[in-house]
Amino acid sequence: MSSIQAIRGTRDILPSESPLWAKIEEIARQTLASYAYREIRTPIFEQTELFARGIGEATDAVGKEMYSFEDRGGRSIALRPEITAGLVRAFIQNKLFAQGGVQRLWHLGPAFRYERPQAGRQRQFHQLDVEILGSRDARADVEIIAIATQILTCLGLQSLSLDLNSVGSGEDRQTYREALVAYFTPYKEDLDADSQTRLTLNPLRILDSKDKRTQEIVIDAPSLLDYLSDDSQRHFDAVQQHLTNVGISFNINPRLVRGLDYYTHTAFEIQSTDLGAQATVCGGGRYDGLVAQLGGPDTSAIGFGMGIERLIILLEQINRYSTVPELDIYLISRGEKAELQSAQLANRLRQNGYSVEVDLSGSAFGKQFKRADRSGALIGLILGDAEAAANKVQVKWLASGEQSEMTQDDLIAQADDIKSKIAQARH
Ligand code: ATP
Ligand code: MG
């Protein structure tokens, strides 16, 4: 019988990789706590309408890539293609705005898009989503960008670049949109098929096209930056000034338009040259209209989504974090009395702060030793019936082979000393 395979575009995160995930989560949590952000957890599926209304049918994520289906009760449901819309729904539904002032929120979890799977692009992927709601101040934009930058830097990632743009207000974009359509229409036949459709649906997205010929045409297209109102320009200037002030360098990229419709003013992306075609690790921007559009009070907001799988690819390249489990003790026992006692000893050791893996095989000592060597533990403890009768144990430092006999009580009493020796051996 053939075995069942995982769904195309999904992957298992195996124990050899999961320490990297834990590291990302640890650094994200620390950084976010230091900026006073609080975690929120929202469902991975929502009413399809939330995404249609919030993100927009004209986007790839909703129009072409969304996993939507009817549930058994005939409701139209969708797996979330991104996290912001659900988070804003929760903000409104739970009246988090009523707490007044600014809400700083984050969430890490899976999102789903029906895309062509390739390196750094999956159908189930994970995002760290960070949002600040309730501030129009340029310092909020800079706080969000600084958090993204800090997480990446703390992880040890280099060769990253920050692209920055302003997509203006909805009104600025309306005028710009007309200028774009006027510019692209004479070239319509030369544009790639997607861009031809976008010409009527979402002309800004043509700027984002990865098609070579389209990109050539885009070079001379009017720049959005020439269509910013005074207000929008002021905000954009302030963001740049504050970024410079906190020492974050950036490139202005007037072609940067984010895939999702709800963005206003600031748009940014962080890319790495070490990622190949899927270079964008983090994308974000301001979305002053979304909360109201989803039925909440008028609320300015800005946030980002960071792609965890792409981060993992980068972390594997820099090879800075060990994925070997940090195990203190591998406990070997053989004989009826010894095996009985080993469970008690292991528990005493764990209560005293050691991590302990117990060999359950009952096989010859030689075989158990081989497994001890492979386990990554620093100490092998050997308990035979003779040791068990005397409440003793053989302590073997696996790297050097140095071995001595100790009472089990001494092993516990000297736990602090032994653990510091373990820590030294490890680093
Ligand atoms: P791209 O242009 O690469 O398709 P996007 O603009 O669609 O990205 P966003 O919606 O801004 O992406 O999502 C934020 C981040 O989530 C991206 O920068 C990327 O790191 C990650 N991401 C998006 N789609 C996928 C995917 N299918 N697989 C893995 N990561 C993804
Ligand atoms: Mg995409």
Tell me how far the alpha carbon of residue 278 lies from the centroid of ligand 2, in angstroms. Answer: 10
Q: Which atom of ligand 1 is nearest to the CA of 113?
A: 27
CA distances from 11 to 7, 53, 67, 114, 276 (A): 8, 30, 17, 14, 20
H/E element, 313: helix 308-318
pLDDT per position as a tens digit, 92-137: 999 999 988 899 999 999 999 999 999 999 999 999 999 999 999 9
Would you state the structure tokens that stand for residue 372, as one six-digit string?
A: 């001890």
Would you state the structure tokens that stand for residue 183, as one six-digit string?
A: 């510019």
pTM: 0.93
Partnered with residue 266 across adjacent β-strands are 166
Q: Which atom of ligand 1 is nearest to the CA of 304?
A: 14
Query: Are 362 and 338 contacting, i.e. CB atoms less than 8 angstroms apart?
Result: no
Please tell me if the CB atom of residue 82 comes closer than 6 angstroms to any atom of ligand 1. Answer: yes
Nearest CA to ligand 1 atom 9: 283
pLDDT per position as a tens digit, 383-397: 999 999 999 999 999
Closest CA to 199 of 223, 115, 209: 209
Q: Which atom of ligand 1 is nearest to the CA of 259?
A: 6
Nearest CA to ligand 1 atom 24: 121
Please tell me if the CB atom of residue 122 comes closer than 6 angstroms to any atom of ligand 1. Answer: yes
For the ranges 48-62, 193-207, 246-260, 347-361, the maximum mean pLDDT occurs at 347-361
Mean pLDDT for the chain overall: 94
DSSP summary character for residue 203:
G
Nearest CA to ligand 1 atom 14: 305
CA distances from 152 to 104, 145, 304, 360 (A): 19, 11, 13, 41
Would you state the structure tokens that stand for residue 194, as one six-digit string?
A: 């997607």
The mean pLDDT value for 1-25 works out to 95
